[in-house]
Structure 1
Amino acid sequence: MDLGLLASILAALLWGGYLVALKRFFSEYSAGVIIVVVHAVAIALYTPVALVRVPRGALGALVAGAPGLAVVVVSNALAFMAFIRAIETGEISYVAPISKIVPVFVLPIEIVLLGEHLTALQISGVALATLAVYVANFTGGSLLDPIRHALGSRAAGFALLSAALYAVGDVGRRITLQELALPPELLVLGLLGGMALVLSPHAARTWDGIGGDWPKFLAAGTLVAVSEHLTALAFSLVPASIASPVINTQAIVAVVLGGLFLHEAAFRTRLIAAMLAVVGVGLIAL
């Protein structure tokens, strides 16, 4: 299997578990506090890896990639805040299929900025991913009810906003890692540190300590460090329109775990929605 594809699959599995962990173990903390503490742990764990792997003379690549890195940091920070608001107001198995249709936004951005072209299969993928949003909102009754529900749902709105912002970040990763040749390890450290910096004022306003929850933050920081490394590796080896659809199949992981461990309602319907999203983004990647 291609290394970029393998990294994408492993990242999807780990990120899916992280989404459920956020809902299950960190619901009492703000997005700012989660990012600052978790990313501080991840930076402490990942820095030795970066020092060993980053080649000498990478400073020039860091300077060249700084604008792209800034875009990735800001878009991911805002996307994470939108996603936290989404799972605060809705169930993870409802939010995940909506928030992870990132490739629906990635492909148009790549068409405009990088000259990508839509094929018939990719258009079908966009349609299926859009249908997944509809199915995730369907609870019976009129066929128009899911559309009305999504339009009036704060959770759905925040989930869609997070998807669009993550798409900007994904294209930024691809440009920064491939066109600007920034080493993946520097992207990971820059992203972890930059997001923590951007959200530190929000964390300061909502800080109330973490008490005895430090083992949970330690575990989450380890998971994020590994997941970010795999994500950066994937985007450094394959186009964003390939890596993003695969990595965002984390939605189906989150839905399955949310249904099994959080006992959320409408599990079967939302599982179908997640599977449609997976097939849709798979077609987009072809």
Structure 2
Amino acid sequence: MQVPEELSQLQKWMQAVVTHPDGIVAGVDSEDARSAIAVDGESIETVVTRSESLSAVGRLAVYGDAYFARLLDVLAEEYPAMVHALGEEAFQGLAFVYLQQHPSQSYTLGELGSRFPEFLRTTRPENDDAQRPDWADFLADLATVERTYAEVFDGPGVEGQELLKPDDLASISQDAWPDVRLETACCLRLLTLDFPAHGYATAVRRETEVLFPNPQPTYLVVKRRDFIVRRDPVALDEYRLLESLIQGKTIGESIADVAQSTDSDLDEFAANLQNWFFEWAEAGYFTAIIHPE
């Protein structure tokens, strides 16, 4: 046996063992654990002694079980609507598989669920009707909404910052308007979904009647203002226009891009533009007007 020379070796070994997703014995045999203390399952009691009622593996399992119970609690707190949709037992089973594939690797538990939406999309069962979104698509959308809310809440925001108002946009001359860029709020996020999953998530959080939605192309703007995460459903043309502005295109370029792809009547599209920009400014989407140099 390799006797640990320093406390840090024992700590490294203990962490590798109790956090291993396949259990204590697998943790003892893992490369990370053996690089700290080279023992196997048969000689583990040279490092951790048994108690009157528990073997060394059993004693370590107490810590391992508590570790994963804490991680499951963190995921459930971040994804309450997912827990509601699946039921607690099914959610925990799915979350445990996720933790096996994506173990915690960050100093902060805020990153623990960052890959959960991607995990749901890549491990979903095959859809018999590829043309129609199904239950698995709804779950992935719901997880995407909840994760985005968490990221926007914890990320940088515009609190204490001066935001553009409708009057600020109105002050831009007609000649200058096409060449101007609008700086969007750092907390502005766009989501495209197969289901209006945001409504389901809101109903769960408000503890009101919760109904599973039918498939419907959904476009969301998610933002934070006054430390409150808000979401605005928008039309496809609005979504595309905001997407272009976020990419740093001028107002003229953004409008031209959407005008070429819209299914709307161009006169109707043109008539909506002023209202959209007014509503976006009212909602605090923009932080600065950038004129060409």
More relative contact order, 1 or 2 (CA 8 Å, 6+ apart): 1
TM over 0.5: no
Where on the TM-score scale, by shorter chain, does this alignment land: which range?
Answer: under 0.3
Give the alignment's TM-score, normalised by structure 2.
0.22
- Whose strand proportion is higher, 1 or 2? 2
Q: Which protein is bigger by CA-based radius of gyration?
A: 2
- Whose helix proportion is higher, 1 or 2? 1
